[in-house]
Amino acid sequence: MSSERTGCILLRDYENLEKAGSGCFGLVLKAKKKGENFYSAIKVIHNDPTTGRTTLDEAEKLSRVSNHDSIVSCVEHWKDEFTKDEHDLFVRLVKPKKTEPFHYFPVGSRSLKVICIRMEYCENGTLKQWLKGRGSEINVWENVQVFLQLVRGVEHLHAHNLIHRDVKPDNILFHKKNAKIGDLGYSATHNTGDYLHTPQAGAALYRSPEQSYGVYGKSADYYALGLILFELFHPEAQKNVGQALTKLKFNRQIPTELRLSQPIITYLIGKLISVEPEKRPNSDEIVSKLRPLLEALKPSPERGQLRRIGKSAGCQHYERKCKVKVQQFPRRTCLVCKVIFAKYFCSTCNLFDDGEDATLIYHCHLCGICRKKTHENVRYKHCDCCGMCYPYAIKTEDGRLIGGAFLKHECKEDAGKMPCSVCHKAVHDSREPAVLAKCQHYVHKSCRDLFPE
């Protein structure tokens, strides 16, 4: 029996059917609709009283929120059925294992009823696969980008009064470079003031404490995001994810290496996995905390941008070939005519700043932010308590370090959150050095200089 003569919509309208995955109640297929030149993912679920209504609910929810880059989009869904002959053809094409759904035709039935959900096909696998396959290397820029995509996806669901309830690496898919949240099977409608929901929904490992009791809201999804953020920045967790996340959840143990190398990330993880839901940050707070880090890690300019910089500096060699060299202390120079494109280029931040003296720049590897020095011989240290960088010594001409100002600074917890009392802009997240005024408020040095004491 050919697929062209079948009455089953799936077999009649789709070709190149392959099994992409399986679950307790159905299969996920990779297939191409006839007349189209791209693949789709099709979830095929048993249409029975237990799972049918849930599957239709999931399809309707996906349709409501599909217009977002961080959500797996739903193209269409339909009810379908296989006759015995059509089922036999389906098994030959898809080859489900004996332990998987749809391997057997129900005894005594005339047809096998199913529900099909057609979604965009994400060809780059799941976040779980990516975490396991990347090794021990950490790309901070890439990790932050992925995490912010997930934050925006969760924010979009919440804007449509949905709680996902099962945010985990298995349910996050990659399409090209975009991370997308999928599988809304456990999602629930959440209206303002309504916090009573089904307890124990979602994977236990990523479940917030309050989900166990059935009284929770949107912040439950942010708890799961906190655990995922930990996995993104701690590759060692993949050796035993269950053990690592359990230690984090119940003992709040964050490895020393992560605390020292990524204080901003560590701070966010701690806030997101707070036992008290009201203490977890929302999407706006997360973005505002990560934006300075993302700016500091901005990749080098594209070749076209470098060409414009070079041309404006009087270098014509970019017209033929990109000949850029990053000098050891950081300048960008044409290898042919030696034109310096910027007096300052931080090889860590990849930021240009025309007119700045390179000797007046330092990069803090703990907070990931590049700043100006008040003097070229000043040395700085990062205070974990304050979350700020302070001068601690001055290097003399003979190489000696004298001073000790760091030990004398007035340490204030979370001082980095305090805005400048003059310009009201962020103190620690800017590249301007901050000083403690006599009034005990932190101000930018340039702002304080406007009002000499």
The full DSSP string for 239-266 is GSHHHHHHIIIII----HHHHHH-HHHH
- CB contact set of 40 (below 8 Å; sequence gap of 6+): 30, 31, 32, 33, 75, 118, 119, 120, 121
In 3D space, the residue among 36, 39, 37 whose CA is nearest the CA of residue 17 turns out to be: 39
pLDDT at 66: 81
| Residues of the chain where predicted confidence (pLDDT) is lower than 50 | 1-5, 196, 302, 318-331, 343-345, 347-348, 350, 352, 354-355
What is the torsion angle, in degrees rounded to the nearest 10, for the CA atoms of residue 207, residue 212, residue 215 and residue 218?
A: 0
Domain residue extents for the chain = 3-120, 127-296, 379-453
- Alpha helices by DSSP H, listed for 297-366, are 303-312
Helices 140-159 and 219-233 sit at what angle, rounded to 10 degrees? 170
CB 43 within 8 A of CB 28: yes
Q: CA 267 to CA 165: how far, in whole Å?
A: 23
Q: CA 250 to CA 239: how far, in whole Å?
A: 19
Give just the sign of the alpha carbon dihedral 346, 350, 353, 354: positive
The CATH number of 3-120, from 3.40.50.300, 3.40.50.720, 3.10.270.10, 3.30.200.20, is 3.30.200.20
Q: CA 56 to CA 225: how far, in whole Å?
A: 27
Helices (H) and strands (E) in the chain, counts: 13, 21
Q: CA 172 to CA 72: how far, in whole Å?
A: 9
pLDDT (tens digit per residue) in 234-285: 999 999 999 999 999 988 888 888 887 788 899 999 999 999 999 999 999 9
- Alpha helices by DSSP H, listed for 66-121, are 84-94
| Residue written as token pair 């934050």 | 151
User: Which overall architecture, per CATH, does domain 127-296 show?
Assistant: Orthogonal Bundle (1.10)
pLDDT at 345: 47
Q: What one-letter code names the amino acid at 106?
A: P
Q: CA 430 to CA 168: how far, in whole Å?
A: 34
Q: CA 221 to CA 212: how far, in whole Å?
A: 14
pLDDT at 282: 93
Q: CA 314 to CA 184: how far, in whole Å?
A: 56
Paired residues of 352 in beta bridges: 345
Tally of residues, the chain: 453
pLDDT at 104: 82
Q: What is the DSSP string of 135-170?
A: TT---HHHHHHHHHHHHHHHHHHHHTTEE-S---GG
Give just the sign of the alpha carbon dihedral 180, 226, 243, 99: negative
pLDDT at 365: 66
pLDDT at 116: 92
